[in-house]
Structure 1
Amino acid sequence: MLRVMNERAVFGEIFRLGKVSRPELAQATGLSKPTISMALADLERARLVRPIGLRTGNAGRAALLYEIRPEAGWVLAVDVGREFVRLALADLVGDIAARGDERRKGGETPAELVARLGELTRELADEAGAALEDITLTVFGTPGIHDKETGSLQLAPNLPGWERPGAIELLAGVVPDTPYIVENDVDLAAVGEGAYGLGQGVDHFALVWIGTGIGMGVVIDGKLYRGAQGAAGEISYLPVGEGDPLVNRGRGMLESVASADGVVAQAARLGLEGLTSAKDVFDAARRQDPIACQVVAAESDHIAHALAGVIAVLDPELVVLGGGIGVQAGDLLIGPVTGRLRDLVALRVPMIKASTLGTEAVLLGAMAVGLTTARDLVFERAVAQAPPG
């Protein structure tokens, strides 16, 4: 047990530090140099780490460097969006070996969607030079909430059929006989922001996703907060604005007025004709179209009222705006939203910034979750397969 604990500590530090020498590992772990050497020998024999040459340039003996063996594991990240599916296959150190995007047909059954995801996965594996059985873990990001008791996906109207009991279990067919994780897409986007984006080094922040849908990922003390039912951050149901009859039924009040469809509906109601997307409306506002500017003002007010409640409850250091509207219209929204918040909240208004990750946020979050879990899985498998002694 002590040997395994030492190996896990060394493996974790190599994962964290990258290319590292034995003396550096001894300093990082507090283990003796002979113990480090024994652990490295075991990890190399298990094909989890490898030597990669000497560090030169310093006085004294050149130090042999070790790194994680990239092919020791593979992580598949899948973003099942409302309009697109996005996939990425990365090795154990996080280097993406293959990437694919495809527009969803819409209205496909869960079985049809899973079959297509399986085809795309096989294409990615071929491109990366890996076999399906080499994939250690798959992380799926989806809209809605994964109800683990029924195996269904709730509050995801754009994924018809997934609300049926057992539907989530179909995802096991994407990479057969491989563990998988299902997470809310906006939660994963928040993880992505914390690992690769504006949330790096920020202990308390919220990622507010504004696009075809609205949601929020909450990070407290550097960790994702899910809530008792996994529904933390479902701000689309905040009582902000009034439900818009021009927008599809089944949405929360905030989402019905502040999502992309809500923006287009508001523009049509005010008489702005010929615009079919929220992007069109925001582009018109940049041209100083008076009606489009009215729509932007209303959108800013809706967002500010929603954030006022978020700030009062969570007191975040940072609010990151993501999603199509949050990223593409940040230049139009951040100033008015910040100004409105100064009138609405008694606390200091946190920094509000547009995400720099764009459409990659969910995939990157899935990758961050997957790499951490896959590291443990490959280590546990190697220990289980190691001969006693």
Structure 2
Amino acid sequence: MYQPFESSSRDVPRQGLLLAIDVGGTKTHVACYDIASGQLRSDIVATHADGLHGVAALERILDTARACAEAFQGAPLLSVAAVFPGVIRGHTLLMAPNTPGLDGLDLHELIVRGLGCPSVLLDNDVKAGALAEARWGALQGIDNAIYLNLGTGLSAAAIVNGRLLRGHNGAAMEIGYLLSPFLDSEDPARWRTHAEGAAPLEELFSGTALGELARQLLGEGHQALDLFSSGDAVVRRALRERITACAVQVANVAVALDVECIAIGGGLYRQASLLEPLIKDLIGRIVPFAPHVVAARFAQDAPLWGALSMAMDAAHLEQIDQRVIAATLEPVVIP
């Protein structure tokens, strides 16, 4: 399990490559940073292209990663960091319904063998995203914060007293497993929970869940983002109810942790402006010491940057070329 870099006692490398891999439910992002030139190359591949799952899907991802590294013409690969949706326990992935076939595999061994690099780190994607925001982004210099990722799934990470909150099993802030606030409190026996293979809040509010809602209310062929552009009153009401459910639970977590800031990222959030005022308003009403709500600097690729941060620490590299970071979007405070 990744631990933040805390020592500068080793020599800082002057050349070599750092490889970051962000495996998502839909797409996998790969980035390779060359220390000598300060250049960053990246690529994207469908996670389950051609219907591939498990080892076959991972091998295709590693093919893309190798090609990205080989573009630097023989520079040695110093470290690799790969992040996944779900819980990393040792060398394996658990609780990862969005990447079928990868759970239970010895991911560390497969990546070490596939890339020929012994220095391989694994972690949860959203926790990696929080690391990126804390190191370079919207949470820089903030000791207590939440990073909320709205994408294919729904998850979050927390910085508590300047440290990433992991929990006993590495599953802290897997908020997709929280109950919906609209459940019938008088009949708990009817609740669908993790024991039944459910992720209640994620099944209510996530890219996948809203895609299903769009097809139900708007017809086949429609996607989650079509809900936000619809003027239909029924659609708007259903969407608002789901946003409210998510915001209520995020507010509950913010009360429990007493955070200063909440940074929100992910592909769904970046494109759905209706989320901004609703989430900020509800959190402002519910949380006694209301935190600032901001857009993540790395709005759609925070996990990839977090993986790069992990690879830096593994190689004992404290900084990368600032021009690489400056090329990304600046944070935007939600009005």
Q: Give your verdict on TM over 0.5.
A: yes
- 1:300–1:333 Cα contact (<8 Å) kept: yes
- Correspondence for 2:125: 185
Identical pairs, percent: 26
- For 2:39 and 2:163, locate their aligned partners in 1 and report how far apart those are by CA, in whole Å: 24
Aligned residues: 301
Paired letter, 1:374: A
1:136 aligns with 2:78: yes
Paired letter, 2:290: V
1:113 aligns with 2:57: yes
- For 1:111 and 1:147, locate their aligned partners in 2 and report how far apart those are by CA, in whole Å: 18
Paired letter, 1:254: L
- For 1:174 and 1:165, locate their aligned partners in 2 and report how far apart those are by CA, in whole Å: 14
CA offsets per residue over residues 198-255 of structure 1, 9 Å max, x none? Answer: 111211111111221111111122221111111111000111245999xxx8341100
Paired letter, 1:217: A
- 2:108–2:120 Cα contact (<8 Å) kept: no
- 1:203–1:219 Cα contact (<8 Å) kept: yes
- 1:97–1:128 Cα contact (<8 Å) kept: no
Query: Structure 1 153/307 Cα, relative in aligned 2: closer, same or farther at 3 Å?
Result: same
- Correspondence for 1:339: 281
Considering Cα pairs closer than 8 Å and 6+ residues apart, tell me whether 1 or 2 has the greater RCO.
Answer: 2
- For 1:86 and 1:203, locate their aligned partners in 2 and report how far apart those are by CA, in whole Å: 28
Q: Report the 3-state secondary structure (helix = DSSP H, G, I; strand = E; otherwise coil) of the residue aligned with 2:301.
A: helix
Query: Structure 1 165/115 Cα, relative in aligned 2: closer, same or farther at 3 Å?
Result: closer
- For 1:141 and 1:367, locate their aligned partners in 2 and report how far apart those are by CA, in whole Å: 10
Query: Structure 1 119/200 Cα, relative in aligned 2: closer, same or farther at 3 Å?
Result: same
- Correspondence for 1:32: none
Structure 1 residue 366: Cα displacement? 0.8
Match of 1:175 among 107, 111, 115: 115
Paired letter, 1:341: I
Match of 1:79 among 14, 22, 28: 22
- 2:31–2:304 Cα contact (<8 Å) kept: yes
Paired letter, 1:184: N
Structure 1 residue 273: Cα displacement? 3.0
- 1:88–1:96 Cα contact (<8 Å) kept: no
- For 1:253 and 1:101, locate their aligned partners in 2 and report how far apart those are by CA, in whole Å: 30
CA RMSD of aligned residues (A): 2.7
Structure 1 residue 94: Cα displacement? 9.3
Match of 1:194 among 119, 134, 140: 134
TM-score (norm 1): 0.70
- For 1:323 and 1:88, locate their aligned partners in 2 and report how far apart those are by CA, in whole Å: 18
- Correspondence for 2:42: 99
CA offsets per residue over residues 170-221 of structure 1, 9 Å max, x none? Answer: 2222312421000000001111111222111211111111221111111122
Q: Report the 3-state secondary structure (helix = DSSP H, G, I; strand = E; otherwise coil) of the residue aligned with 1:263.
A: helix
Match of 2:228 among 282, 285, 292: 282
1:374 aligns with 2:315: yes
Paired letter, 2:177: Y
Query: Structure 1 152/122 Cα, relative in aligned 2: closer, same or farther at 3 Å?
Result: closer
- Correspondence for 2:98: 158
- Correspondence for 2:235: 292
- For 1:193 and 1:114, locate their aligned partners in 2 and report how far apart those are by CA, in whole Å: 27
CA offsets per residue over residues 6-35 of structure 1, 9 Å max, x none? Answer: x956x7xxxxxxxxxxxxxxxxxxxxxxxx
Structure 2: runs of 5+ lacking an equivalent: 1-6, 184-189, 319-335
- For 1:251 and 1:358, locate their aligned partners in 2 and report how far apart those are by CA, in whole Å: 27
- For 1:318 and 1:102, locate their aligned partners in 2 and report how far apart those are by CA, in whole Å: 33
Query: Structure 1 8/105 Cα, relative in aligned 2: closer, same or farther at 3 Å?
Result: closer
Q: How does 1:298-337 map to 2 (within 5 A)?
A: 298-329=241-272, 331-337=273-279
Q: Report the 3-state secondary structure (helix = DSSP H, G, I; strand = E; otherwise coil) of the residue aligned with 2:121.
A: strand
Q: Report the 3-state secondary structure (helix = DSSP H, G, I; strand = E; otherwise coil) of the residue aligned with 2:315.
A: helix
CA offsets per residue over residues 77-119 of structure 1, 9 Å max, x none? Answer: 0001111111111134793432111122355233212322332
Structure 1 residue 160: Cα displacement? 2.1
- Correspondence for 1:365: 306
Deviation larger for 312-321 or 161-170: 161-170
TM-score (norm 2): 0.81
Paired letter, 1:319: I
- For 1:350 and 1:123, locate their aligned partners in 2 and report how far apart those are by CA, in whole Å: 43
- For 1:207 and 1:313, locate their aligned partners in 2 and report how far apart those are by CA, in whole Å: 15
Paired letter, 1:102: V
Query: Structure 1 322/306 Cα, relative in aligned 2: closer, same or farther at 3 Å?
Result: same
CA offsets per residue over residues 263-292 of structure 1, 9 Å max, x none? Answer: 2334455x43355211111122xxx33233
CA offsets per residue over residues 143-180 of structure 1, 9 Å max, x none? Answer: 111121xx421110122222335355322223124210
Structure 1: runs of 5+ lacking an equivalent: 1-6, 12-42, 49-67, 378-389
